[in-house]
Amino acid sequence: MVFFLKIDEIVLQDEKLNLHKLIKVKDTIFDSAKKIHVSNWLWIYEESSIFFNFEIWEELDNAYLNKLIKYKNTYFKVIQINANSQTRYS
């Protein structure tokens, strides 16, 4: 049996041992043309709310401890998942 973990928070470590603390937030807007709310989940830095590299968001959604993620010429290692898990909205 396979269990999937809903990842809301992740800490990555790059090759220079810098930590990247990221959180997943829900961004909701109202589409006035269609008269509906549209939501997207975004990965941002916890401290600054700056977007993390969009190209690897799917990798973050499917991360596991010690996973190596390559982005351009940099490797990131997943060192922590959901340490303070709670739903956050932007």
CA atoms within 13 A on the CB side of 32: 0
Q: What is the pLDDT of residues 59-82, one digit of tens each?
A: 999 999 999 999 999 999 999 999
Report domain extents, the chain: 9-80
Answer whether 15's CB lies under 8 Å from 53's CB: no
Our separate counts of H helices and E strands in the chain read 1, 5
**45 has a pLDDT exceeding 90:** yes
Answer whether 22's CB lies under 8 Å from 11's CB: yes
Cα dist from 32 to 14, 26, 27, 41, whole Å = 42, 19, 16, 20
